[in-house]
Amino acid sequence: MNFIDKIYKARDSVSKGHYAILHFAGLCLRFFYYTRFLSMGLTLGMCGYPQSGKKTLMQLLTNNSYDAKKGIGIATIYDERFNTLVQLYKPKKVAPATLNLNLIGNIDDDIIKEGSIFNDIAGMDALCLVVRAFTDESVYHVKGSVDALRDYEKLVGEFLLHDMVFVEKRIQRLDADKKKTAQQKESELLLLQKFLRHLESGNILNNLTLSETELMIIKSYPFITLKKIIVVFNTDDNDASLLQRFKEKFSGHGVYALCVPVKLELEIASIADEQERREFYQSLGIAKPALHMLCDAMINSLGLQSFFTVGEDEVKQWLIPQGVSAPVAAGYIHSDIQRGFIRAELMHYDDFIAAGSEENLKKQGKYHLVGKDYMMQDGDIVSFRFNV
């Protein structure tokens, strides 16, 4: 029985009760995602098989400060630009961007049929699949042997199963939906059939290019594979060959994958002296610590960018979606600033560093006043003018 055949067999056993739970949770998801995205309290769900290293990775990313009982923690986003601005302005307060981490329960082969995992991942903005690739005979493997690509395929297979079941159930109930017009039903049916063909081919929904209209149709639906997925292979060392084999086999999935020797990095992170830590990383051929790589992956996967507010009182980094206007960016600071937006005083980080000071930047004509139509760029340093 091949991979897709196993999915077909398993989905037939999903209960109607599970479908009802999924549909209700999907309606709730829209509200929670919207409010969380406005506050940029982004949450990355950490999931995988037992003994894959999820908790150790949580320790590493949160500097050993996560709540083990609740399975939650906060990772500080690493951005060298922010650190440089702090050094230059020497503010009383610093506020780097942060990333919320949520440890999801262990995945097993029956968890999708039971429906319990959806309640855990519904509120996640993205998923981090932690896949064991390290060889340690003292740590048992739930599948009996270490095979990272096999485990990734099985994990994604569970998510594919979940989404296929939802699509099929939704198609069956579409005719009875009295809230939609005939034209709306036809548009949704065509989209769901497109999804089903894609899923049946073993592909995740996230690598489909969807129009704004299509996204509006399914915005309240609980598709797991529509979420951004980051794969962390927990290795003995920085295994470039594993990544190459992964890309060759799963290039169509479009997920961001990286290899992290989690246990080793946790030991290095415990070294108090920063210079000694850097030298240790260099000696092992680790170009970037895991936190830096994961932050980059999260920001890139979600299509985010940064702007900064600076001064003697505070230097703060803000995460916003790419392609937003200055007034919308102002709203991430406070809704009153967006409502009363007049214009923004703005300089770009690269120009500022090259000039050496704000005074030199102004002489070069690179300190700007921008209006409501200005589209924010990654690295903008901004002060908003407003009147309420």
Tell me, what's the pLDDT at 177?
A: 85
Residue 367 clears pLDDT 60, i.e. is over it = yes
In single-letter form, the type of residue at position 13 comes to S
Q: Rounded to an integer, what distance in angstroms lies between the CA atom of residue 324 and that of residue 308?
A: 15
Where does residue 45 rank: exposed (0-12), middle (13-18), buried (19+ CB within 10 A)? buried
For residue 27, the model assigns a pLDDT of 43
Examine the pLDDT at 194 and tell me if it is beyond 90.
Answer: yes
Taking every pair of C-alpha atoms in the chain, what is the biggest distance, in angstroms?
A: 71
Residue 55: burial class (beta carbons within 10 Å; 0-12, 13-18, 19+): middle
Pairing relationship of beta strands 72-76 and 98-103 according to DSSP bridges: antiparallel
pLDDT band of 36, cuts 50, 70, 90: very low
Delineate the domains of the chain, giving CATH numbers in brackets.
3-79+99-300 (3.40.50.300), 323-386 (3.10.20.30)
The band of 112, judged by pLDDT with boundaries at 50, 70 and 90, is low
Q: What is the 3-state secondary structure (H, E, C) of 201-218?
A: CCCCHHHCCCCHHHHHHC
Q: Which residues pair with 346 in a beta bridge?
A: 368, 382
Q: What is the DSSP letter of 327?
A: H
Annotate 269-302 with DSSP letters as a single string: HT-S-HHHHHHHHHHTT-SS-HHHHHHHHHHHHT
CB atoms within 10 A of CB 323: 10
* Pairwise pLDDT comparison (366 vs 284), residue with the higher score: 366
Least confidently predicted of 24-33, 273-282, 351-360: 24-33
Give the pLDDT confidence score for residue 22 in this predicted structure. 44
Question: Of residues 140 and 313, which shows the higher confidence score?
Answer: 313
Q: The whole model's pTM is what?
A: 0.82
- Model pLDDT, residue 101: 93
What are 44-61's pLDDT values in tens digits?
Answer: 999 999 999 999 999 999
Rounded to the nearest angstrom, the gap between the alpha carbon of residue 47 and the centroid of all alpha carbons in its chain is: 13
pLDDT at residue 193 in the model: 96
Residue 72 has pLDDT above 90, yes or no: yes
Residue with structure tokens 């020497």? 90
CA-CA distance, 373 to 371, in Å (whole number)? 6
What mean pLDDT do residues 380-387 have? Answer: 97
Average pLDDT, the chain: 86
Which H or E run includes 236?
none
Percent pLDDT > 70 in the chain is 87
CB 207, CB 252: distance < 8 Å: yes
- With the C-alpha atoms ordered 20, 14, 251, 132, is the resulting torsion angle positive or negative? positive
Dump pLDDT digits (tens) for 196-218: 999 999 999 998 999 999 999 99
